[in-house]
Amino acid sequence: MSGLLERLRPSYGQKLFLLASVPMILAVSAIAILVAAQSRALAEREIRSLETQLIEAKKRELRNYVTQARNGFYFVYGTASPTDDLAKEQVMQILAAMIYGDEGFFFVYDYDGNNLVSPRQTELINRNHWELTDSEGTAVVKQFIFTARAGAGYIEHLWPKPSTGEEARMITYVTSFPSWRWAVGTGVFIDDILDSVAATRAEVEARVQQTFLYIGAITLGALLLVFSSGLFINIRERRLADAKLKELTQRVFDTQEEERGRVARELHDGISQILVGVKYALDITRRRILQDDNRAEETLGKGIDNLSEAIHEVRRISRDLRPGVLDDLGLGPAVKALTDDFRARTGIDTQFETVVFRNRLDQDSKIALYRIAQEALTNVERHAGASRVTIDLRGHRDGATLRISDNGVGLGEASRGPRQGIGLRNMQERMEQLGGTLRVLSSRSGTVIEAQVPLSHLLPPEEGQPVKTKVQA
């Protein structure tokens, strides 16, 4: 026993090593914990700021939607009496037609809790929902009506998604038509914001854990080197994380502002002007009816035509934001519709070929390839100066490939604008997220963009499904 204890007793050199290494290990561990805590705290502040700003942007967007909708038919409400059922029916029809995006719509409740308008959830119409609560116990309809009675405001609650029927968090802006005793509003689901914030938190946590691994590996290799270099690495990692987080925040803001600006321009330049035309046509019609003028029917017809055009514009904007054919029929028909619209709008000779593989691509891949085709055609229209574009989409044993080629001036001239660079970077990031590849070949005679998703994103073929069908636009 004494011999064993003698062998286990550390030598003088070992004692010195332990005396030097233990404080270093403790110091390095303390530094690592401190840096990680500071990184988490800083990242959490940035993430909370980002979440707050995104939600505030959603709220402003909702308020703009309601304000624009109210301005569009205020001439009906402003001149109608509290018992004018014809005016009420006209306003309800307008609101029922004003759907946007995948989930967006306007609703109307009277002050007794009866639903008058709900275009995406028609089962709610003409029923009383005064006692309706969400899974958290919030009396949603009561809150709508109390907020409307107070003037206007925002409400955060849970509501079933029209597309899935599952509850998701939603922000709603409600205003009132006091003379009609109506609560009118619209809402937007913010689960995408919550998912983005959760993903950002997970990324920060992954980076913190990665930093711990770096420090541990270097400590095992050389304690003295760890003490000097570990601090440097941690500071550098923190700065990189901060820089990437700020870059991500800025990119989110830039993308959001660009999209909001585009939708705002389309609403202002298209729908807003058309609705103003409808207003003037109806005003003229009313005066002619009061004067028994036989031309009243003519101006009323023009107003109806303008209103139909406004509805068409709303549907076009909705289709641009997320085409329904992509979910209903698959990627091939969606890209073909995009090609047809591009050819009709620009006059550029655009051909589309595909080997149809139904909906074998998973949802993420379909969305990514569609957005790449959309971005590529936008670049061709704005920058390439091309007269011919060819789009080829097909599945094969390695996955699926989308190929867009044009005979334009090439990226050497077309990519000088900042928007083009962002577009190519977005394409690359979409492919990286799917584990796919993006190839861009460019010369003065044209550009070829080829996006390929791996076989792992193709679903098994259905029984009885045709193997190959060729479609040419």
CATH number at residue 155: 3.30.450.20
Q: What is the domain count for the chain?
A: 2
Which residue in 245, 190, 221, 225 sits closest to 43, CA to CA? 245
Q: Is 462 contained in some domain?
A: yes
Identify whether the C-beta of residue 218 lies closer than 8 Å to the C-beta of residue 210: no
- Gap between the Cα atoms of 166 and 82, Å rounded: 37
Strand partners, 176: 183
Which parts of the chain register pLDDT below 50?
13, 226-228, 230-231, 414-420, 463-473
Q: So what's the pLDDT on residue 127?
A: 92
Q: Both tokens of residue 149?
A: 């009675």
Q: So what's the pLDDT on residue 145?
A: 93
Q: Is 199 contained in some domain?
A: no
Burial 264-286, CB ≥16 within 10 A → b, else e:
eebbeebbbebbebbbebbebbe
* Last residue within a domain, chosen from 156, 189, 222: 189
Strand partners, 390: 351, 405
* Last residue within a domain, chosen from 152, 174, 189: 189
What DSSP element (H or E) covers 262?
Answer: helix 223-266
Q: So what's the pLDDT on residue 426?
A: 78
Sign of the torsion formed by the C-alpha atoms of 153, 159, 162 and 167 = positive
CA within 13 Å, CB half, 54: 25
Domain carrying residue 450: 323-472
Q: Is 248 contained in some domain?
A: no
Q: Is 203 contained in some domain?
A: no
Q: Is 205 contained in some domain?
A: no
Q: Is 281 contained in some domain?
A: no
Q: So what's the pLDDT on residue 321?
A: 63
Q: So what's the pLDDT on residue 232?
A: 62
Question: Which residues are CB-contacts of 83 (< 8 A; sequence separation ≥ 6)?
Answer: none
Q: Cα–Cα distances in Å, from 213 out to 25, 122, 207, 374? A: 14, 55, 10, 41
Q: Is 391 contained in some domain?
A: yes
* Last residue within a domain, chosen from 135, 156, 189: 189
Q: Is 89 contained in some domain?
A: yes
Q: So what's the pLDDT on residue 211?
A: 76
Q: So what's the pLDDT on residue 10?
A: 62
Q: Cα–Cα distances in Å, from 269 out to 264, 265, 313, 361? A: 8, 6, 11, 37
Identify whether the C-beta of residue 100 lies closer than 8 Å to the C-beta of residue 318: yes
Burial 38-67, CB ≥16 within 10 A → b, else e:
ebbeebeebbeebbeebbebbbebbbebbe
- Gap between the Cα atoms of 293 and 288, Å rounded: 5
Identify whether the C-beta of residue 186 lies closer than 8 Å to the C-beta of residue 108: no
- The overall average pLDDT reported for the chain is 77
CATH code (residue 431): 3.30.565.10
